[in-house]
Amino acid sequence: MTSLENGINAFVEQIDTPIASFFNSCVHCGMCADACLFYTETGDPKYTPIHKLEPMRRVWKRNFTFWGKLAAMLGLSKPVTDAELEEWEPLIYDSCTLCGRCSMVCPVGNDITYMIRKAREGMVAAGHAPDGLKGATVRAVEIGSPMGVTWKTVQAQIKHAEQDTGLTIPVDVENAEYMVLMSSMEVVNFPEYMGAIARIFDQAGVSWTLCSDAIEATNSGIQIGSSDIAAQLVQRIVDGAEKLKVKTVISPECGHAYTAIRWEGANLIGRPYSFKVLHILEVLDELREQGRLQTEGMETAKLTFHDPCQLVRRGGVVEEPRRLLNMVASNFVEMPDAGVWNWCCGGGGGVSANERADELRLKVFSRKKAQLDAVGVETLVTACSNCRIMLEDGAEANNMDLQIVGMAETIAAHLPTKTSTTATEESSS
């Protein structure tokens, strides 16, 4: 079978009743364009979200509709060609972050993001995925991390975190309440996350562990659109969690990892989990609600929160970060469109791993910049290390004076000193 046939078959396999209904319903009103930062910031109509699905629409029409099948039989319609898929590759991968805004505005109710996620299955099967994303996926499968981070690197971070906090970072502890996952970016770029978690959990008296077989939460398979690989990566986490018999797996400060583990994972491996999955923001908010998360002092700098798309629009985590920030910040302001209407950092959905898209990504950062300029803050808090890198990159490119931090470290900076017995014992030993 040629790669084109593979691709077409994958499209056919992905098309379900919702997708057929969505294609049937589209009236070409163009409202999805106005919701997409790739269109609003470039003014180029080719970035209209529904247009990105043109090859998939043609496969649907030819294979799933009465007239389409008839036309195909009579040789009246042209099948999708390899050249067309090649042409669409940048539209589907470089100019869509799976942010989900289009799905919220479509007047006929089309979940366009759901369609693009599925269309990527066809694209990758046809061999039309960006090299950067392919590389990340290969590393995720072979090394265990899209950035090539090995358990050795994690161990070095554990050592650092233990030295910094004076706490023991638990590894492979059975029957712990929580199993903590991380993203490679946290291991490499934001090691403060691990220390922050250790200190917060110590103070709250939470039993937790890392798993040496399953540390990586991100899932390049989801981003590139390969369900087989995505399932393999999820399976590592499921095996780790089941081996250690933990009650809950915590998705780190990452957007798509949450979508991967919380919402797609069970479907990818074909069975429900025996454990719960929560985002770290949900865990921290639960601890806050139970009175186990105590803080002291307030940030006085004017700060705002950037909602990661996969949490706020595709994941259902909206109020948690706001309640947490209000605990530790006296001057927390919201950007225009904050919350479910927040604009993407520009690098979600695998765009950040795709160097080809860098220029476009930085161009459309103007949307984020406008949002930030409207509030004029000193500090920007977020809960996704990919957003964080992208925001840092965009801020630097635009000479913006902005401190960008993660939520866990922001909370950890306000933990009361030495209230927990464990911490006292540890530091005195």
Partner 1 sequence: MTAEALLAWARGPGMQIALAVFFLGITVRIVEMLLIGRAPDLAAPRKSGVAAGWRTVFHRSLPTPGMLKRSPLVFVGGYIFHLGFLIVLVLSVPHIELFHGVWGIRWPGLPRSLIDLAAILSIGAMVALLVHRLVDPVRRFLSRSGDYFAWTVTFLPLITGYFATHHMLLPYTQMLAVHILSIELLLIVLPFTKLIHTFTLFLSRWYNGAIAGRKGVAS
Residues in 104-133 at the binding interface with partner 1, rule: CB under 8 A: 104-111, 114
d(CA 399, CA 419): 41
Q: Which stretch binds partner 1 (CB under 8 A): 76-84, 261-269, 327-335, 394-402?
A: 261-269
Which residues on adjacent β-strands are paired with residue 305?
381
Beta-strand pair 276-279/248-251: parallel
Residues 169/258, Cβ–Cβ less than 8 Å:
no
Is the Cβ of residue 200 or residue 277 nearer to partner 1 in the bound state?
Answer: 277
Q: Which stretch binds partner 1 (CB under 8 A): 40-48, 122-130, 138-146, 153-161?
A: 40-48
Is the Cβ of residue 328 or residue 372 nearer to partner 1 in the bound state?
Answer: 372
Interface pick for partner 1 out of 52, 306, 314, 361 (rule CB under 8 A) = 314
Residues in 321-340 at the binding interface with partner 1, rule: CB under 8 A: 337, 340
d(CA 132, CA 93): 11
Q: Interface with partner 1 includes 241 (CB under 8 A)?
A: no
Which residues, at least 6 apart from 295, have a Cβ–Cβ distance to it below 8 Å? 327, 328, 411, 414, 415, 416
Q: How far is the CB of 341 from partner 1 (least distance, A)?
A: 6
Is the Cβ of residue 187 or residue 317 nearer to partner 1 in the bound state?
Answer: 317
Q: Which stretch binds partner 1 (CB under 8 A): 117-125, 273-281, 295-303, 348-356?
A: 273-281
d(CA 295, CA 293): 7
Which residues, at least 6 apart from 242, have a Cβ–Cβ distance to it below 8 Å? 274, 275
Distance of CA 419 to the CA centre of its chain: 34
Residues 183/387, Cβ–Cβ less than 8 Å:
no
Q: Which stretch binds partner 1 (CB under 8 A): 21-29, 133-141, 198-206, 410-418?
A: 21-29
Residues 262/279, Cβ–Cβ less than 8 Å:
yes
Q: Interface with partner 1 includes 175 (CB under 8 A)?
A: no
d(CA 167, CA 164): 8
Count of Cβ atoms closer than 10 Å to residue 390 Cβ = 26
Report which of 62, 226, 268, 218 is spatially closest to residue 128, judged by C-alpha positions.
Answer: 226
Q: Interface with partner 1 includes 265 (CB under 8 A)?
A: yes
Q: Which stretch binds partner 1 (CB under 8 A): 153-161, 174-182, 266-274, 399-407?
A: 266-274
Interface pick for partner 1 out of 139, 306, 313, 388 (rule CB under 8 A) = 313
Q: How far is the CB of 118 from partner 1 (least distance, A)?
A: 11
Q: How far is the CB of 188 from partner 1 (least distance, A)?
A: 29
- Write out the residues near partner 1 by the rule CB under 8 A: 15-18, 20-22, 24-31, 33-35, 39, 43, 45-46, 48, 50-51, 64-67, 103-111, 114, 262-267, 270-273, 276-277, 312-316, 318, 337, 340-341
